[in-house]
């Protein structure tokens, strides 16, 4: 985790439902992009942390949101840093090809929220924020790029979840 002068960091959860198992040959192009994209994220200015499975390089073997659903959980110093990584580098190629590998989600599949600097969100916390967005729409507690809030607009939501709680 990098040191930061920011009092709050932006957490992001993205869930994606696989069209095929990861070991299916139709998923090979996506699987081949995982390491380069994750390495790029790790080296991007403003990157703080990403969820990985124990001893792994990514979190694709974790299925906390259901069978065949992969999660990407990261923390960034600023919303701009996450935006730049997501839409202004090699990650954009993955986004352009996502329909080859993932089902189209009817409900929200991406959620952003502010956390205190140094707090690493749990998967439970992240899934709770996604559920909040789906149930209540965007708010300072759970939002999207299209309906974002600043950390200053969400001070009461900056509390870290108690240990063992979502």
Q: Residue 41 belongs to a domain with what CATH number?
A: 3.30.70.100
Instruction: Give residue-wise pLDDT tens across range 76-95.
Output: 999 999 999 988 876 777 77
Q: pLDDT at position 159, please? A: 57
Q: pLDDT at position 61, please? A: 74
Q: pLDDT at position 64, please? A: 74
Whether residue 141 has pLDDT greater than 90: yes
19: enclosing H helix or E strand: none
Residue 74 belongs to a domain: yes
pLDDT band at 157; cut points 50, 70, 90: low
pLDDT band at 54; cut points 50, 70, 90: confident
Lowest mean pLDDT among 90-99, 102-111, 133-142, 156-165: 156-165
Distance CA 40, CA 5 (A): 22
At 34, phi and psi to the nearest 5? Answer: -55, -55
Residue 121 belongs to a domain: yes
Q: Mean pLDDT over residues 106-124, rounded?
A: 94
Number of domains in the chain: 1
Whether residue 166 has pLDDT greater than 60: no
More confident residue, 6 or 124: 124
At 148, phi and psi to the nearest 5? Answer: -90, 160
Residue 164 belongs to a domain: no
Residue 98 belongs to a domain: yes
More confident residue, 106 or 57: 106
Residue 125 belongs to a domain: yes
- Expressed as residue numbers, the domain containing 69 is 8-157
Residue 162 belongs to a domain: no
């Amino acid at each position: 985790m990098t040191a930061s002068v920011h009092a709050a960091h932006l957490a992001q959860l993205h869930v994606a439902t696989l069209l095929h198992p990861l070991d299916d040959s139709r998923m090979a192009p996506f699987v081949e992009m995982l390491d380069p994209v994750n390495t790029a994220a790790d080296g991007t200015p403003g990157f703080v942390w990403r969820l990985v499975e124990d001893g792994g390089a990514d979190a694709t073997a974790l299925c906390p949101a259901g069978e065949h659903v992969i999660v990407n959980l990261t923390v960034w110093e600023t919303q701009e840093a996450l935006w730049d990584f997501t839409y202004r580098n090699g990650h954009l190629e993955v986004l352009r090809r996502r329909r080859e590998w993932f089902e189209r989600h009817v409900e929200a599949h991406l959620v952003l929220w502010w956390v205190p600097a140094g707090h690493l969100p749990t998967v439970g916390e992240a899934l709770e924020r996604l559920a909040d967005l789906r149930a209540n729409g965007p708010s300072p507690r759970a939002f999207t790029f299209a309906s974002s809030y600043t950390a200053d607009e969400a001070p009461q939501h900056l509390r870290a979840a108690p240990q063992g709680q979502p």
